[in-house]
């Protein structure tokens, strides 16, 4: 089954190119250029993985990832950042019990493809649909008080 990936980066060239690379590797990849548009897509469509830049206007990729996971819109999140020290960037997520995967920018497309394959290997969905995708990982979500 083809896996659905949402790629979000405020740099349209980066997002479009990464989506094209993932499509060439057999994924169904959609590009978004604004975190609010990405959230709307996540609410409307079913994705297996969110691939997001970290540093974006309006909402960081970490904030977007937490929102997506809080609402169970997507089972896997992969973040990318050009910032050398990512420890501080991920601290809010760790404080809420999330451990997101992160790749440095720039990263060779083959490394991104391999990481996406690795992360999606554990997402065994029988069908595509937001309710199905959400039920797969509901039990693994951290308790949020």
- Give the percent of the chain with pLDDT over 70: 81
Beta bridge partners of 131: none
pLDDT by residue (tens digit) across 125-138?
Answer: 434 444 434 434 44
At 59-115, the pLDDT tens digits run: 999 999 999 999 999 999 999 998 767 667 788 898 999 999 999 989 999 999 999
- Phi then psi for residue 49, to 5 deg, are -150, 140
Looking at residue 86, its pLDDT comes to 67
Per the document, the length of the chain is 145
Domains of the chain, with CATH numbers? 4-140 (3.40.50.2300)
Summarised one tens digit per residue, pLDDT across range 36-51 is: 999 999 999 999 999 9
């Amino acid at each position: 089954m083809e896996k659905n990936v949402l790629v979000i980066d405020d740099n349209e060239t980066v997002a479009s190119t990464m989506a094209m690379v993932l499509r060439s590797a057999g994924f169904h990849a959609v590009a978004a250029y604004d975190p609010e548009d990405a959230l709307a897509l996540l609410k409307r469509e079913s994705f297996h993985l969110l691939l997001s830049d970290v540093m974006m206007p309006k909402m960081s990729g970490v904030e977007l990832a937490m929102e997506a996971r809080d609402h169970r819109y997507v089972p896997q999140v992969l973040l990318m950042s050009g910032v050398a020290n990512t420890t501080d960037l991920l601290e809010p997520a760790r404080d809420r019990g999330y451990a997101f995967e992160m790749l440095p920018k720039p990263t060779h497309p083959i490394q991104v493809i391999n990481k996406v394959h690795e992360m999606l290997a554990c997402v065994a969905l029988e069908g595509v649909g937001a309710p199905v995708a959400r039920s797969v990982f509901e039990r693994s979500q951290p308790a949020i008080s």
